[in-house]
Structures are given as C-alpha cells and as structure tokens.
Structure 1
Amino acid sequence: MGMSPDFCSFNVRGPGFDGSCSSSTGNYFIFGQVTGAAPAVPGMFPNMLNNMTPGQFPAISLMPVQAMTQQATRHARRVYVGGLSPTANEQSVATFFSHVMSAIGGNTAGPGDAVVNVYINHEKKFAFVEMRSVEEASNAMALDGIIFEGAPVKVRRPSDYNPSLAAALGPSQPNPNLNLAAVGLTPGSAGGLEGPDRIFVGGLPYYFTEAQVRELLESFGPLRGFDLVKDRETGNSKGYAFCVYQDLSVTDIACAALNGIKMGDKTLTVRRANQGAVQPRPEQESVLLHAQQQVALQKMVYQAGSLPTKVVCLTEVVNPDELKDDEEYEDILEDMRGEGGKYGKLVNVVIPRPDPNGEFAPGVGKVFLEYADTDGSTKAKVGLNGRKFGGNQVVAVFYPENKFAQGEYDG
C-alpha cells in the first residue's frame, strides 16, 4: 500500500495502539510506518505468502479494506488551515487543534485526540489537518478565525472535498451546540457556508450593516448561512460577504439579479464562490424578474436616507428666527452639542443660519450632527427621532457624508 507524501509528515498514535502491526485499532494502516515495526517494503507480501499453509488466508487480508475506507473518507475528514505563522510545525498544529476540539466539545469519536495527521506546506503557510471522523472534521469547520500563535487562521474544506459524497458519510455542518465561546469564537456566524452553492457578495459599501446586507439577500428567500466579513481588530466590514440559501434553486437567480447593480458609490460583484457566473434557467426568469423588482425597491429605500452615515440631519428642531440673534444661536449650538454628545463622539455640529439680509439660505431650520463613527450616528438617529423639542416632533435621518463635507445642506 503506497503512502501519499502528506501521510508521512506527522504520525499520531491513536488510543490503544501498541506499536505492532497486529494492533486491532488499525492505526498502523492509517498513519503509516511505526517505529520498531517491520518496514513496509515491496517484499512484505511475498514473504507472508511463503509462510502460509495451503488454503490459509493471510492475516493481512483486511488491510486493503480498511485502507480503502480511510482513503475514501479522507477528503471529508481533512480541513485546510491557512495563514499559519512561520514558527508553526506539525506537532504544534496537531496539539493545538486537538486541544480546541476537546474544549468546544467537538470530539465525537471517543476518548483521545481528534487530530490524527498533519501536513504543513511551510512555504505557503498552510496545513491539512486530518481528523479521526467526518463528523469531527465538520465540527472543526466552526473554528474558522481562531487565534493560533497570535494570528487568526482560516479553516476551510480542502479543494478535493466532495459535498455530494460527503453527505453520505456524516454531518457536513458543525454541531450547533458546540461551545465556541470556550475558545473565544462567536457561534453561528459562518454556519452553513460550505458547498458549491456558496455565494460571494463583493463590492458592498463599508457602512452596510449585517441587517441591511441580509435584508438585501433575503429578497430571494431565507438564508441557511450568512457571514459579513469584518476586520478582526476594528470590527468594521471589509466590504464582502458569503451566503447560502435554504432553497438552493435560487442561487443563480440571486447572482444574476444582484451582480453589477450599483449601491452608493460601489458596484456589487455577486457570484458562486467556487466558480463563475451561471445564468438562470428559462423557467426561473419570472422569479428573477420579481427579485430584481424587489432589489430596485430596496435600492430606492437605501438611497433615501436609511443607510447609516456619520452625519445625522435633524429637522423640526429650531426656528429660523431663533438663529438670527448671536447669543441665542450660541445657546442653541451648545444645547445641540450637549444633547448629541450623549450618543457618541461628536466631531462637528452645524446649524445653518439665515444670511444677514434675512433671506433664505440652504439648510436653514436643520441641525447637522457629525459623529466619529456610524455607531454614534445610528444611536443618535434612533434616540432623537420622534423626540419633542419646543413642542415639535423631531425628524432624524442620515445625511450623505460627501454633501456635508462640501457644505451642501439643502439635500
């Protein structure tokens, strides 16, 4: 039985392994050559056959069956781990992933370590980590983004993973009851995001929230999995996401409807993550048309001031006559700074005034609150909208940052 190169890189002894080829666990056949055991050389089988009596089956006759079983399930028992540090080695990777699998309750094949083999490509800083079972490999998929030796690593299916074959071998998704908090991960963010129907959504405006991206995608149906990719240090969106629909038949419809549409100053790129664009079939055209109409409606809503920006515009707060007197104007300005500062870090407060001749000037009657981030502006919009000031009910909306920066207050 020939061993592939990555099988020879790091051999882990499983529970009950006694170091001899007669071990009932079969670890000898799974993990490669064992120190102290007879070498696996081409002459091994003839030597055994010479020692047999006529009609006797060799004791090794079950080896190929077990080996074939291991080989057949191997694509579903391995996970790809990318972004490793230069100091990572087979032993450290195996020890780390065995530890975290135990910590999250991901071990399902009995006592002992979940990891049975590790192959590292040091040049490209990735590893293939082989688990004892298909179910444990699926549980390991929940570890995407875990911090290893000071840096987050990617955990993915290897390129030879076959979803249709794997479906018959065991669970293809992580157990939803894994204790990911034990290793500093948030459960559920990327659950259900494997397989050929995974969609890449790129070109998202950075200020889109998770709720807004989901709302856009769910125009086509409920999602089985969704992940808006964020910067691990700042928590800000990186402008792209992945999703999988519960009804896989809408995958191509969603890609066709969303790909190429403009959102703010961005153009969306939406396609299957593992291949290029696929056109919907003729029978899907009516669904596609309806979905495109829904997207167009949502786009109109987004452009009408519902998307978060760092600037909140308030109306029904001040009377233009109150702004003519310098002292009264300063009092109003100070009041707005105090009120707006309750929701986040205020960068600027602008209250346009009538011109000296008393004539109308753009933006008079409005108050603009500029925040350091959209978290503050969002809280201000929610907190101030509908409040009563001087007997008037305040209306709060987000205002385009580019227009505000250019001093255009009449939008």
Structure 2
Amino acid sequence: MPPPIMMPNVSVPGQVPGTTAAVPGMLPNMFLLGAGQVQFPTIPLMPVQAMTQQYQATRHARRVYVGGLSATANEQSVASFFSQVMSAIGGNTAGPGDAVVNVYINYEKKFAFVEMRSVEEASNAMALDGIIFEGAPVKVRRPSDYNAPLAAALGSSQPNPNLNLAAVELLLGSASGLEEPDRIFVGGLPYYFTEAQVRELLESFGALRGFDLVKDRETGNSKGYAFCVYQDLSVTDIACAALNGIKMGDKTLTVRRANQGIAQPRPEQENILLQAQQQVAIQRLVLQVGSLPTKVVCLTQVVSADELKDDEEYEEILDDMKGEGEKYGTLVNVVIPRPGPNGEATPGVGRVFLEYADIEGSAKARLGLHGRKFAGNQAVAIFYEENKYAKGEYDA
C-alpha cells in the first residue's frame, strides 16, 4: 500500500460538522481516515506469470504458416495485410483491433509465421489459403508444432462457415467456370491494361472458357492480376511457359497454374510452344504500340536530311538498312524519302520504311529495331498503315 496522504487539519466554511471535506483528485471509492489520511481500495490482479503461461500454452494454436511470399514482403506488410483481410471477411473474434499480434519471416525461404490474438482467429485464417498477396497466391497452413488434440480443447479448430470470403476475391471465378487444376494465374499486369487487351493477349493461345481481371471493388481499377481457363486444356502449360517472364512496359508477367509451379511442356508440345511465342511477340506489340501490326515498319530518328543529299552516301544508307531489315524476315522493299533537288523538304524525310512479306517479319523487325542506335541516334520503330504506304504518303 502507498504511504498515506497527509491532509492539513483545516476547517472549510459551510462544512457540516463531522463530515469530511472533498479533496481535489480523490476518487469516489477513496475515503479519509483520521488526521486526513486516505485509504485506497484493493484491486485484485492476475499474476504476470500465470498470464505468460496461458499465452505460451495457446501459441501453437494461434499461429499460422504462410508460404510463397514475394521477395518484397516484410513483417509490417504481412501483419497489415492479414489484419485487414481478417477484418474484411468477418474473421475477428477477439473484438476490435488488429487480429495479428506478431510476424516472423524467414526471408531466405520466403515463409512466415503469423500469430493471431486468439485460437478462433487462427482457425478463421485457415480459410485464406491461396489468397493473393503482393500479386501472387500464398499458402496458409498450420505450423509443424500444431497439436490438433490439444488445440481442440482451446477453441474451434475449423474456420467459421459464415466468413465473407467473397470480400477478398477468394471466390473469384467460381461463377465463371474457372475450375481447378487448370485455372491459370496471370500476375504482373500493368494497371492500365484493359480487360479487352488482357483477353487479346491470352487468346493468342486459344479460346477462353473463363476469364476474370481482378478489379478494386471501390474504384473499378485493375489490381494487376487475372485468372483464366482455356477451352482446350492442353494449351494450359504452353501458355504458362510462353507468357511467364515476359516484360510488359515496366512490369514482368508471372503466369502459372493457380495452385502450382510452372509445368514444363512435353516434347510433343515444343513446336506449338514456338508458334505461340511468336504469336505472343506480335500481340505484345499490339499492346505496346496501341495499333494492329502491319507489314510495314517505319523507323524515325535514324537518318538526317543532310545525310541523304549526297547520292553515294544515300546508297550506302539504303544498303545498310536493307541488310538490317533482312535479318528479321523476307524484305520486299526499303523506302527512304530524300530532300528535293535543291534541298527543299519533302514528305517523310528522316524516315525509313521497311516493307515485309508478312506480319511475322515486320513484328520481329519492330521488336528488334526499336531502341537500336544508328550513328549515335536511338531508333523509334512503329507499324505504318499499308494503304498510306502504298499511296506514297510518308508524312502521316
């Protein structure tokens, strides 16, 4: 008990004789003893040791294993994500606040142990297996030290059947025919890609039976990943192998079976895979350039008007561009507009037009020549409208 508070022995005007004056700072359940001493009430406390023992005894049942984390995951991001998700699905049973109390990450093996406040919340978290975290699905399992018989006596060992899993997209695709095990996860999509553009890329391999581009419920914006299933399931592994690792703008695609790693295509699939990769290269150009490929590639920032005035120098440039263009496919013609006889400007001066026999050649040329340096100049390669090229309109 703290030492008594000594009060001055003074009379208060208007005080009823035999009563105690109110003392500033005193609580209602304090009362004065003789000579102004204050008695404090006794508050029963649970021994700290007992609380610690109870906490440790339930720890194995309050932790979950989370595997398959991205390289950028950290304790704070994992704790924040799972706390928000648990709240969103209605999985919190221990009252308001964050469900996650502690996170340990093994950065080398990319897994974490996530500790919840209660046994029931840990059981609810088991329903989150396969949830998308930082663009990829993660595994949610019981840790190796989980003692099922002991845990059963501590609280529910099964997720609440009334959890709102749809709130975190876990039921994504179930109504669209996206079935396991042939469901494909497509991550790393640029956020500005539209649903039509993503479908167009995926349909390079065949018709889709189901497709979902995941969007934010509030803003309607893409979250950067999608799921799909092909009508012909034999192309599933081919599509995964061909698309995985492809760069789209500032992003790199992650494409695999939703619950598995990337399966290697069988030997009999290799020819199909090569054809598919060529088709993907063409489709990438459609998405990057924003227009359909044509048989004509236009190069800019390659030559200057002064370089084209001299006949001998012009012929050398023409031969050089022909040699470069033939590396990518069957080249039909090379057109390099020149200034007029007196040096006057003419339409298309400074541009080089490469006409190919087919789109496959022009697509490869567009991909290979874009960004290349010619005499210190970085080329820009785009597809050019065939009808304008045929009419000799080189300035559009």
Q: TM-score, normalised by structure 1?
A: 0.34
TM-score (norm 2): 0.34
